[in-house]
Amino acid sequence: MRQTRFARNIWLGIENLLLHKLRSFLTMLGVVFGVGSVVAMLSVGEGASKEALEQIRKLGSNNIIVSSVKSAEEEALSTTHSHMSIYGLLYEDHRRIAESFSHVKQTAPAKIMRKDSRLGEKEMELRVVGTIPQWFELVPREVVAGRVLLPLDVAQKTPVAILTEYGARKILATESTIGQTIRIGGDQFEVIGIVKSESGQAQAGNIQIQIPDQEVDVYIPMEVARRYFGDIFTKRTSSGDEREKVELHQIIVEVDEGDKVEAVAAGIKRMMEQFHKKKDYAVSVPLALRKQAEATKRRFNIVLGSIAGISLLVGGIGIMNIMLASVTERTREIGIRRAIGAKRRQIVYQFLIETTVLSTTGGIIGLGVGALIPFLITYFSGMITVMTWKGILLPLSISVTIGILFGLYPAMHAAKVEPIVALRHE
């Protein structure tokens, strides 16, 4: 019974607001934009967090990625004929990193090169990654068929290869290819497995981190790569052959505890500075993406939060203003209701319901507008936005609160109306 009476009161409020449709609509605009901003703010923030988490998952949340970088001056020199660039990570760096830090759980070095490969009739260039079994723990990807590297492969230095699912499709390999031979460079390898792959760059703010694997990779044991292909690579370019000597292209380091990642990364940087005269390496920390995402989130929160705050304040005052005018306009009605026997608090209640219906309707429209803004942001900036229940319920409850807060004064004002004074009012 109570419930239906409440519903009826709300309906009466709606009816009164519908008497002045345009006025009611204009009055609620402030709340519409305020709530819209809140919705947008929350969904952009949520999206930034989610995107960062997703990227960190691809990169490994407790990983540090150390990679070789060809410095600018080396780049300039390499165009001169018959010059050989020597740079990047050393086998020695890997050993030192693996042994010097108590919080380093495991490491995976990688030697990366491009080789023409051939499976049956199909020929294409693959990115060859010479690595060790730990790679598949630090860059965990679903195994589609067969198996990944095992310590046995390392010990026996067997020429085995693991394709990526995407690469396999390109080179026309299937599950039945497992056990068959693939030619990489000039050498024969046995295909033992197919894994899924990620690719591309993780990015947040000004931080960019290359995801360790690529779509078309082939993984072979590190020792085999060293023995078959050596440390010197020849790249064919338009200006002639470029020769490079790089021992390791990447070292992925897993730290045992999340909050030790930064300390270990700092340690690695210090160590690298000590042993490398040139800055021919880079240390990336995926976890930093999260910080960056938090910063992005904060920036958006400040901008949209201010817009929301101002809109809601202005919206609230607008509602208050219109309700005060409405109270004056309806003084006689209030007087009639009081003369019939309405108590002051029932008048308060009536006007509070009206303002709350007004602001809540504004809030609901604002939800729609607010859902549109993240959509546009995603469309134009590619930023991921996520709507959550919290992102819907919070703005809605804000709009209800605005109604009650700013409706209270006009409602009390209405309740002060003395019946006989009101009835004389023309």
Partner 1 sequence: MIERACSQEGKEIVKLEDAQKIYQMGTQEVKALAGVTVSFKRGSFWAIMGPSGSGKSTMMNILGCLDRLSSGRYYLEGQDVSTLDDDSLSELRLRHLGFIFQSFNLIPQLTVQRNIELPLYYLGWDSVQSAQRAKEIAEEVGLGDRLGHRPTELSGGQMQRVAIGRALANDPQILFADEPTGNLDTTTGEQILELLVKLNKQGKTIIIVTHESTIADHARNKLHMLDGRIDRIEGNSNEAN
Q: Which residues bind partner 1 (CB under 8 A)?
A: 1, 4-5, 8, 15-16, 19, 332-333, 335-344, 346, 419-420, 423
Closest distance to partner 1 from the beta carbon of 340 (Å):
5
276 or 344: CB nearest partner 1? 344
1 or 72: CB nearest partner 1? 1
Closest distance to partner 1 from the beta carbon of 355 (Å):
18
Alpha-helix runs per DSSP H in 171-221: none
122 or 424: CB nearest partner 1? 424
> What does DSSP say about strands 217-221 and 122-131: parallel, antiparallel, or unpaired?
parallel
Structure tokens at 147: 């198996």
- Across 391-403, b (16+ Cβ under 10 Å) vs e yields bbeebbebbebbb
253 or 417: CB nearest partner 1? 417
Closest distance to partner 1 from the beta carbon of 365 (Å):
24
Residue at 193: amino acid letter: G
Q: Which residues contact 389 (CB under 8 A, 6 or more apart)?
A: none
Closest distance to partner 1 from the beta carbon of 346 (Å):
7
**Dihedral of alpha carbons 157, 160, 162, 167, sign:** positive
Closest CA to 250 of 197, 212, 198, 207: 212
Closest distance to partner 1 from the beta carbon of 409 (Å):
20
Closest distance to partner 1 from the beta carbon of 4 (Å):
7
Closest distance to partner 1 from the beta carbon of 329 (Å):
11
Do 188 and 181 meet the contact criterion of CB atoms below 8 Å apart?
A: yes
Closest CA to 63 of 97, 91, 89, 87: 97
Residue in the structure block whose two tokens are 């000004």? 206
Instruction: List Cα–Cα distances, 244 to 126, 231, 366, 389, in angstroms.
Output: 19, 8, 59, 54
Instruction: Give the span between the Cα atoms of 87 and 71, in whole angstroms.
Output: 8
Residue 412 sits at φ, ψ, to 5 deg, of -65, -40
Closest distance to partner 1 from the beta carbon of 47 (Å):
46
16 or 284: CB nearest partner 1? 16
226 or 344: CB nearest partner 1? 344
Instruction: List Cα–Cα distances, 8 to 3, 35, 158, 356, 397, in angstroms.
Output: 9, 26, 81, 14, 21
Closest distance to partner 1 from the beta carbon of 300 (Å):
45
76 or 340: CB nearest partner 1? 340
171 or 422: CB nearest partner 1? 422
263 or 420: CB nearest partner 1? 420
Alpha-helix runs per DSSP H in 78-221: 91-100, 135-138, 151-156, 165-170
